[in-house]
A = this chain, B = another copy of it.
Amino acid sequence: MIKLSKEELLIASKISQLKEAAGSHSPSIFTIVEQLPMLNIKVDACFLSNPYATDLFLEYLKKELVDTSKLRDVLEFYPSQNEVIAEIIGKSININKENIIVGNGAIELIQAVMHRFVGDKVIVNIPTFSSYYEFAKDRTEVVFHQLEKKNNYELNVEEYIKFVKNHKPDSVVIINPNNPNGGYLPYEELRYILNNLKEVKNIIVDESFIHFAFEDSDLSLISATELFKEFSNVIVIKSMSKDFGIAGIRCGYAVMDRHKVSELLKNGYLWNSSGLSEYFFRLYKRADFFNEYEIVRKRYIKEAQIFFEELTKIPQIKVYPGMANFALIELIDGSTSADFISKMLIKYGVYARTGSDKIGLNGEFIRIASRTEKENKIIIDSMKDMFQNE
- Give the B-binding residues of A (Cβ under 8 A): 22-23, 25, 28-31, 44, 47, 49, 51, 54, 57-58, 61, 66, 71-81, 84, 104-105, 107-108, 111, 114-115, 131, 134-137, 241, 245-250, 267-278
Contacts and interface: CB of A to CB of B under 8 A. Distances in A.
A103 to B, nearest CB: 10
A268 B115 contact: yes
A312 B247 CA distance: 48
19 contacts: A28-B79, A29-B78, A58-B72, A61-B75, A75-B248, A76-B246, A77-B247, A77-B248, A104-B250, A104-B274, A111-B269, A115-B267, A134-B267, A135-B268, A137-B267, A250-B272, A250-B273, A250-B274, A274-B277
A249 B75 contact: yes
B79 A54 contact: no
Contact of A31 (B47, B84, B105, B271): B84
Nearest to A26: B78
A358 B179 CA distance: 47
Contacts of A137: 267
A25 B80 CA distance: 11
Contacts of A75: 54, 57-58, 61, 246, 248-249, 276
B267 A31 contact: no
B271 A78 contact: no
A341 B66 CA distance: 32
A247 B28 contact: no
Nearest to A79: B248
Contacts of A71: 58
A275 B104 CA distance: 12
A108 to B, nearest CB: 7
A270 B247 CA distance: 14
Given A79-B247, A108-B272, A274-B276, 7 more contacts: A25-B81, A28-B78, A30-B80, A74-B248, A75-B249, A250-B273, A250-B274
